[in-house]
Amino acid sequence: MTENKKKSILRIALYAGEIMLKNGAETYRTEDTINIMCRSKELKHVNSFVTPTGIFISDDRLDGISFIKRIKSRTINLSKISDVNNFARKFIKDDISEMDALLELRRIDKKGKYEKYTRTFFTGLASAFFSLLFGAGLTDFILAFLISMVAIRVNWKIERLSNTSFLAKATSGALISFLALISKSIGFGESIDMIIVGSIMPLVPGVALTNGLRDFISGDLIAGATRVAEAVLIAISIAVGVGTILKLWVHLFGGVF
């Protein structure tokens, strides 16, 4: 096998792994996909080391080549994971040229999400029904629906402008508590807690924490530590946003609870 052939296989595997990791695949799944893709093309000695912030692939023979990819941001986009999964299966079975494979991966990478307004509407729906699960009344249901839509839009806007998620999460947290307090004080909302429970649901890092612990239990200790730390950081940033507004409100207007 020529060196160029080897390089192109590693490059394709790296790109596939990058897309999976960026869109919220588990660490072990990413590693396995990379290893299997390489092994199916007679690259038997490939090691991959995946953490949520970067991928390392290396061929540990004498002419060993290594590739590193830094991953800056992670979201959850399950349709891309599923697409890469299908691509990997096709890649293992058939002989796809490097160009075709990279083009196909690029197509998956660039694939859009659902329409922005659809996503906003369904986020509102998810939050509103979540507050019902916690036992909210009808007015709180409506408020959670509206406030969470505003909050998620603000969150997306700021996330696009700044590359740390701290600011986005803190601002949307502050906005949620501010709107909840206002609606309570004009006499529309029933319980601030219920409104906040629902509206905050799309922001809180529950899935991130669970995925982190899953990594820990399956033995990917660095990945687990990174994900848990990220989850704690997100929770802190929301708490800072909400807490600041609540404190300010109590100072300025006295208690409204």
Cβ proximity to another protein: between 14 and 84 the closer is 84
Give dist(CA 79, CA 238) in Å, integer: 27
Judged by CB under 8 A, the residue of 7, 8, 11, 32 near another protein is: 32
Angle among Cα 60, 61, 64 to the nearest 5 degrees reads 70
- Least Å distance, CB 4 to another protein, is 26
- Alpha-carbon distance of 83 to 225, in angstroms, equals 28
Residue 153 in the binding site for another protein (CB under 8 A): no
Of 73-102, which residues contact another protein (CB under 8 A)?
Answer: 76-82, 85, 88-89
| Cβ pair 137, 194 in contact under 8 A | yes
The answer to whether 151 contacts another protein (rule: CB under 8 A) is: no
Q: Which of 64, 33, 75 is nearest to 50 (CA)?
A: 33
> In this complex, which beta carbon is closest to another protein, that of residue 45 or of residue 68?
45
Applying the rule CB under 8 A, the residues between 164 and 203 that interact with another protein are 197, 200-202
Which is closer to another protein, CB of 7 or CB of 156?
156
Choose which of 68, 103, 133, 229 interacts with another protein (CB under 8 A). Answer: 133
Out of 66, 162, 210, 250, point to the residue binding another protein (CB under 8 A).
210
Q: Does 162 bind another protein (CB under 8 A)?
A: no
Tell which one of 154, 182, 213, 225 touches another protein (CB under 8 A).
213
Residues 27, 216 contacting (CB under 8 angstroms): no
Kindly state whether residue 135 participates in binding another protein, applying the rule CB under 8 A.
yes
Q: Does 129 bind another protein (CB under 8 A)?
A: yes
Check binding of 158 to another protein (CB under 8 A). no
Among the listed residues 10, 12, 21, 25, the single contact to another protein using CB under 8 A: 25
Q: In angstroms, rounded to a whole number, what is the distance separating the alpha carbons of residues 30 and 15?
A: 11
Q: Shortest distance, CB of residue 187 to another protein, whole angstroms?
A: 25
Q: Are 226 and 157 in contact (CB under 8 A)?
A: no
Task: Please give the residue ranges that form the binding site for another protein (CB under 8 A).
Answer: 24-26, 28-29, 32-33, 35-36, 76-82, 85, 88-89, 113-114, 118-119, 122-127, 129-130, 132-133, 135, 197, 200-202, 204-207, 209-210, 212-214, 216-218, 231-232, 235-236, 238-240, 242-243
